[in-house]
Amino acid sequence: MSRWQPDARGRLERAAMELYRERGFEQATVAEIAKRAGLTERTFFRYFADKREVLFWGAGELQDFMVSVLASAPDSAPPIEAVAAAILGAATLLQQRPIEYARQRRFIIAANAELQERELIKLASLAGALADTLRRRGVREPAASLAAEAGIAVFKIAFEAWTSETSQRDFPELIRESFDELRAVTTGT
């Protein structure tokens, strides 16, 4: 094992994803992940609290980004349009990573009930943060919660479409189309 090589987090993440695909999330151990990455378990725990965090470590930064975009939306923007701007910004940010990573992550999470629960908690936390931001902008209930929850539903549906095995679509484009569908459903057009 070499003394130091760059990109320890990335190497750990790649090693974990490989092992999760090969053996399943439950069977992969932190020791195996660290060994495959050419690092120690201690180094693993500097970057991740546990092996689940390999799949969820960027959630806090994504939430902060979405809240920031929402908070900076024009005061005149209707709640759902302000939320749409935040969701679209997140899609643009997430698309910077290789699509194959997002597909693998989705597949791994879909194969494990504990990870599915964690993903739902993450999405609920995002919706809560967006609703809180809307309330700080003066949006009353239930409009704040409805706009935030609808935005997260659009995000989830567009993400699933983007990460399907056959999709060649742009994530932001899918977000825009999904918001258009939501508008059509709510207006009856």
Q: What is the pLDDT of residues 137-151, one digit of tens each?
A: 999 999 999 999 999
The pLDDT value recorded for residue 1 is: 46
In this structure, are residues 3 and 39 in contact, taking their beta carbons and an 8 Å threshold?
A: no
Q: What is the pLDDT of residues 75-118, one digit of tens each?
A: 999 999 999 999 999 999 999 888 888 999 999 999 999 999 99
Please state the pTM of the whole predicted model: 0.88
Q: 136-140, 157-161, 166-170: which has the minimum mean pLDDT?
A: 166-170
Q: Answer whether residue 164 shows pLDDT above 60.
A: yes
In this structure, are residues 175 and 161 in contact, taking their beta carbons and an 8 Å threshold?
A: no
The pLDDT value recorded for residue 4 is: 53
CA 64 to chain centre: 12
| Residue ranges of domains in the chain, CATH in brackets | 8-54 (1.10.10.60), 58-187 (1.10.357.10)
The total number of residues shown for the chain amounts to 189
